[in-house]
Structure 1
Amino acid sequence: MTGGAPAREADIVIVGGGAAGSVLARRLAENPALEVLLIEAGPSDAGQPGIRSAGTWNELIGSRFDWQQSYAATSHTAGREIGIPRGRVLGGSSSINAMLWYRGHASDYDEWEAAGATGWNFETLLPFFRKSEDWQGGETDFRGAGGPMKVRTSTAPHAVAQAMLDGAAELGLPVIDDANAADNEGATLSNLNVTIEDDGTMTRWSTVRGYLDPASGWPNLTILTDATVTALTFEGDRCVGVEYRAVSDGNATVRVRARQGVVLAAGALITPRLLMLAGIGEPSELVPLGIRMRVALPGVGKNLQDHPLLMGVNFRARGELGATRDNGGGSMLNWKSSKARGKPDLHAFVVQGPHATDEVRATHDFTGAAGGTGAAGKGSVFAIAPGLMHSRSVGYLRLRTADPFAGVHSALELQPNYLAEPDDLEALIESLDVVRELAATSAYGELGADPVSPARGLSRAEKIAFVRSSVSTFFHTCGTAAMGTGPGAVVDPELRVYGVDGLWVADASVFPVIPTSNTQAPVIAVAERAATLIAASLAAVASR
């Protein structure tokens, strides 16, 4: 021990109290004989009204509840760094995100098995999607009822959200009741993990509220916040615990022993960092940093995937559009580009206010749009934001230093390689045309939808430049410790880290292929299944 801190023990130590960690802690602690310790780097979400408010979630981006990390600049992004918000608070990104509950196309998860994640496919994951949710429409073949996560749609959609549905119908695109059912192609009201008050006001329903709060009094579950894990500890080939620094211990280094194992659920950026600091990764990258190799797993930090989003497709209504409703959006549209591979690859959602990068704002007239309200007789600015949900570009994460106390900016190089694949660029160029067609429908015409950015039709060269200056992130980082059976896999299909006993990974890091959706619901489903796999593994060991 250092700093005189007391020794601590638990049966299972879970690193990361985000969406996945919250699920794992609750499910594993349902066995009263299992002592579970959940360690979260950020603070508790308790007493934080800004986290509970669904309509003001964007104010949390860049706040003290955000890791405030960034993707490195490339020529494909016009030399711009791109901020990648990640929750640094109990509940993780489920406490700061836009609350979108969307699982994509069924074939997304069949692709996992095809990539080597044996036993992972839509059929095996569907029960866990259903187990996790309490869908407003009740139980169906595709939806669950009575689960921890409340999932609702708007009871009174904002005008720009309703116009997306009506405009899509005018263009001959399907309008569907539920994108989380049999078919996801078309326009629909967004599923949101929220509760809805009698007056229609939405309140965030994070994994803390759904999973942890009901278990808060359990004697076998300890939740430690403001505690940053800095190292994994080993005895031979077995991971036997972690070291952390916590505010409650005066930031002294504390070692906690895990009697039965450690689960990394710190997210797709922090989980691979901890593995690499422990000497698990690509030797040619770790040895020059002075890290002693433990297991050569070249896939650690590779396979980084995220969906590119275009900020900047904005329009001005002829009048005021009223107060923000719901989560500031409310509807979405899925359709196929000419580059699609058998399922919708393009996705768009509405924003009840301006939505643009600094570069786009600097070169277009957003006069009076800071709060969505125009000046000198100009109306509210709103956005239709397209993005690519079946992107091909793959990037990486690299460790810059072996110092476990280095800040997130100096510790990691993060590169999603946005637009590196030409087909990704082509699909996003096509998305601009569809958004303009949508805004030209009578549904949006009733609101007035004068183009703000781009302010006019663009040539092909101008479209390419606009895409590069407006591309940003959906916050869907994943894949950096992929599960599978091939040479690039980091964990096996039971989520055990190759070459190490007593160590599992259960978060978005393990996705071998990014699904065509927001990642919150898939992360929770993976964690639900991970809890059953880990519990079965522990039971098998105990029975020997």
Structure 2
Amino acid sequence: MLRDAADALETAYDVIVAGAGTGGCVVAGRLAAAGFSVLLVEAGPPDSAEPAIADAGAWAGLLGGAYDWGYAYAPAPEVAGRAIAIPRGRVLGGSSSINAMLWNRGHPSDYDGWAAAGATGWDFAAVLPYFKRAEDWEGGPTPLRGAGGPLRIETPRDPHPVASALIAAAAERGMPVLADANGPDNAGAALANLNKRGARRWSVVDGYIRPLAGHPKLRVLTGATVLDLLISGAVCSGLRLGLEGGIATVRARQEVVLTLGAIGTPALLMRSGIGDPADLARLGIPARQALPGVGQNLQDHPLLMGINFSARAPLGPVRDNGGGAQLNWRSRPGLRAPDLHAFVVQGPHAGPEIAATADLSGPVFAVSPGLMGSTSVGSLRLQSAEPDGPITLRPNFLAEPADRAALAGAIDTILDLADTAAFRDLGAVPLTPARRLNRSEADAFVARACSTFFHSCGTCAMGTGPAAVVDPALNLHGVAGLRLADASVIPTIPTGNTQAAVVMIAERAADLIRNAAG
């Protein structure tokens, strides 16, 4: 079942799922188990090709390597003219095979905001059953949590000293300590929810694909590049695939589902003639369907890497995912949800510009803040019509003054932790920055330290307005037989890590496809 050759590839399947990442594995696994014949296509290799993928503590070493697409955000003056790497998994399981395994839904009001923005029927009450369906939560079922689902979710059983210190320090500063980071409110400190089982990563492959090994309805094809969509009139009937040694055409009896992610999905649509006609003409691509929203609305969460501290003594080996605890808070009163988030790193966390300002050798740890309520919006633009051609990604990090101000204020919040007994017990001394910064200095630090949480989304937004790309049933506007089920359809970025939201979207997509088939 988990084969990478094109042997015995059939000419047609009930459903073809393009992209075996977080969304694709969920859709394919659910539909195959329901009796649909499914072809799941992935450009990268099987996840078993690299043992480090299964090691929950080894994920950082996978970034920028052979299992990463190697994308980067374009340099911009707001981030001191730097390109910012944006890791995306090029392997079975996609980014769920190389990410930090965090399972955060964000605030319930995020999804009420989706519904208000035109994604009718995607309010929190409507999507909660799909979050719960996916979960095998260590604490068992509750009104907000699911158990027995495909994805194992655990908190650290023996938290690293830095993780414990963050929670104790937050309590000293008068912040809530949460029993569950995915409870009714996410404001406060909590142990991280992680997709792992013990020391092993528990990806969507583990949850949705491996249990179907040998299943006659599921065909997994790795090492296959989607070249373009087969579209006749206003109907998508299949895909053209690039395989080692040739090209194959496969057709879908019912529908094609794109799950190539917030970068790959809009890129394929545009190369297939779906997008802004004027922009397509720039590359000599004939327009098949005018959808100017394709590639627009790019959103991500900016991250500061990082605020580093020296410790009095070595803190022990890496545990869990190298972090283990998090903190959410509001940058100013009156916000509907916490807009700032920080996590611990069991070692130094800094890009080269920040690392050059201090000695980060020896016992060092970090608390890295980021903006989950970011309002800056960017775009994706093709530079070539070729399937492997370059793409320009502009998230417009820090373009909005409110985003810069919130991150500048977050520096002081993290430095405040050094004045707590919990951090004094570690002998914590700030290194980057080594002291309080005035606003001008803080703005400069934010620009040089700004990176990404790897939460690209929104480039084929769901809705009903003129900029929407898919309708609330995830069907592409104007083309029958084509549905999207990945981070690209997110209309507004949630205030949490996007993995959980993508799994929820894909769970619901599988239901929508089953219902459409009768």
Q: TM-score range by the shorter chain?
A: over 0.9
The Cα shift of 1:7 comes to 6.7
Question: Within the alignment, does 1:8 sit opposite 2:11 as a pair?
Answer: yes
Which blocks of at least 5 consecutive residues in structure 1 are unaligned?
197-201, 375-379, 540-544
Q: Distance in 2 between matches of 1:143 and 1:384?
A: 28
Paired residue for 2:368?
Answer: 385
Which blocks of at least 5 consecutive residues in structure 2 are unaligned?
1-5
Q: 1:7 to 1:30 in 2, by over 3 A?
A: closer
The Cα shift of 1:538 comes to 1.9
Aligned runs of 1:185-204 on 2, under 5 Å? 185-196=187-198, 202-204=199-201
The Cα shift of 1:440 comes to 2.0
Q: From 398, 421, 428, give the equivalent of 2:381.
A: 398
Moved beyond 3 Å, runs of 4+: 3-7
Give aligned-pair identity as a percent: 56
1:132-174 deviation digits (Å, cap 9, x = unpaired): 0000000000000000000000110000000000000000000
Q: Distance in 2 between matches of 1:45 and 1:126?
A: 29
Q: Distance in 2 between matches of 1:425 and 1:31?
A: 48
Q: Distance in 1 between matches of 2:336 and 2:506?
A: 28
Q: Distance in 1 between matches of 2:49 and 2:392?
A: 34
Is the CA contact 2:306–2:369 (under 8 Å) kept in the aligned structure 1? Answer: no
Question: Within the alignment, does 1:207 sit opposite 2:204 as a pair?
Answer: yes
Question: Within the alignment, does 1:216 sit opposite 2:218 as a pair?
Answer: no
Q: Which secondary structure does the structure 2 equivalent of 1:292 belong to?
A: coil
Is the CA contact 2:307–2:431 (under 8 Å) kept in the aligned structure 1? Answer: yes
Paired residue for 1:38?
Answer: 40
Q: From 468, 477, 482, give the equivalent of 1:489.
A: 468
Question: Within the alignment, does 1:17 sit opposite 2:20 as a pair?
Answer: yes
Q: Distance in 1 between matches of 2:480 and 2:421?
A: 61
Paired residue for 2:491?
Answer: 512
Question: Within the alignment, does 1:231 sit opposite 2:232 as a pair?
Answer: no
Is the CA contact 2:273–2:289 (under 8 Å) kept in the aligned structure 1? Answer: yes
Is the CA contact 1:7–1:254 (under 8 Å) kept in the aligned structure 2? Answer: no
Paired residue for 2:283?
Answer: 289
The Cα shift of 1:234 comes to 1.3
The Cα shift of 1:8 comes to 2.1
Paired residue for 2:313?
Answer: 319
Q: Distance in 2 between matches of 1:532 and 1:5?
A: 29
Q: Distance in 2 between matches of 1:58 and 1:501?
A: 40
Paired residue for 1:468?
Answer: 447
Q: Distance in 1 between matches of 2:186 and 2:55?
A: 28
Q: Distance in 1 between matches of 2:9 and 2:108?
A: 48
Q: Which secondary structure does the structure 2 equivalent of 1:46 belong to?
A: helix
Q: How many residues are treated as equivalent by the alignment? A: 513
Q: Distance in 1 between matches of 2:302 and 2:156?
A: 26
Amino acid at match of 1:398: R
Q: Which secondary structure does the structure 2 equivalent of 1:387 belong to?
A: strand
Is the CA contact 2:470–2:476 (under 8 Å) kept in the aligned structure 1? Answer: yes
Aligned runs of 1:79-228 on 2, under 5 Å? 79-196=81-198, 202-228=199-225
Question: Within the alignment, does 1:241 sit opposite 2:238 as a pair?
Answer: yes
Q: Distance in 2 between matches of 1:470 and 1:282?
A: 34
Q: Which secondary structure does the structure 2 equivalent of 1:414 belong to?
A: strand
Q: 1:270 to 1:47 in 2, by over 3 A?
A: closer
Q: From 425, 432, 435, give the equivalent of 1:453.
A: 432
Paired residue for 1:199?
Answer: none
Q: Distance in 1 between matches of 2:9 and 2:64?
A: 35
Paired residue for 1:377?
Answer: none
Is the CA contact 1:339–1:427 (under 8 Å) kept in the aligned structure 2? Answer: no
The Cα shift of 1:16 comes to 0.3
Paired residue for 2:332?
Answer: 338
Q: Distance in 2 between matches of 1:130 and 1:312?
A: 33
The Cα shift of 1:69 comes to 0.3
1:397-438 deviation digits (Å, cap 9, x = unpaired): 0111111232xxx2x110100000000000001100000001
Q: Distance in 2 between matches of 1:23 and 1:340?
A: 37
Is the CA contact 2:109–2:336 (under 8 Å) kept in the aligned structure 1? Answer: no
Question: Within the alignment, does 1:58 sit opposite 2:55 as a pair?
Answer: no
Q: Distance in 1 between matches of 2:424 and 2:19?
A: 47
The Cα shift of 1:312 comes to 2.1
Is the CA contact 2:159–2:319 (under 8 Å) kept in the aligned structure 1? Answer: yes
Is the CA contact 1:351–1:382 (under 8 Å) kept in the aligned structure 2? Answer: yes
Q: From 298, 307, 323, give the equivalent of 2:292.
A: 298
The Cα shift of 1:259 comes to 1.5
Q: Distance in 1 between matches of 2:185 and 2:251?
A: 47
TM-score normalised by the chain length of structure 2: 0.97
Q: Distance in 1 between matches of 2:340 and 2:307?
A: 15
Paired residue for 1:435?
Answer: 414
Q: Distance in 2 between matches of 1:173 and 1:405?
A: 48
Q: Which secondary structure does the structure 1 equivalent of 2:219 belong to?
A: strand
1:521-540 deviation digits (Å, cap 9, x = unpaired): 1100110001001111122x
Amino acid at match of 2:42: E
Amino acid at match of 1:436: L
Q: Which secondary structure does the structure 2 equivalent of 1:468 belong to?
A: helix
The Cα shift of 1:5 comes to 11
The Cα shift of 1:487 comes to 0.6
Q: Distance in 1 between matches of 2:258 and 2:317?
A: 41
Amino acid at match of 1:325: R
The Cα shift of 1:481 comes to 0.3
Q: Distance in 1 between matches of 2:345 and 2:377?
A: 28
Q: Distance in 2 between matches of 1:228 and 1:277?
A: 13
The Cα shift of 1:4 comes to 13
Q: Distance in 2 between matches of 1:237 and 1:101?
A: 38
The Cα shift of 1:237 comes to 1.0
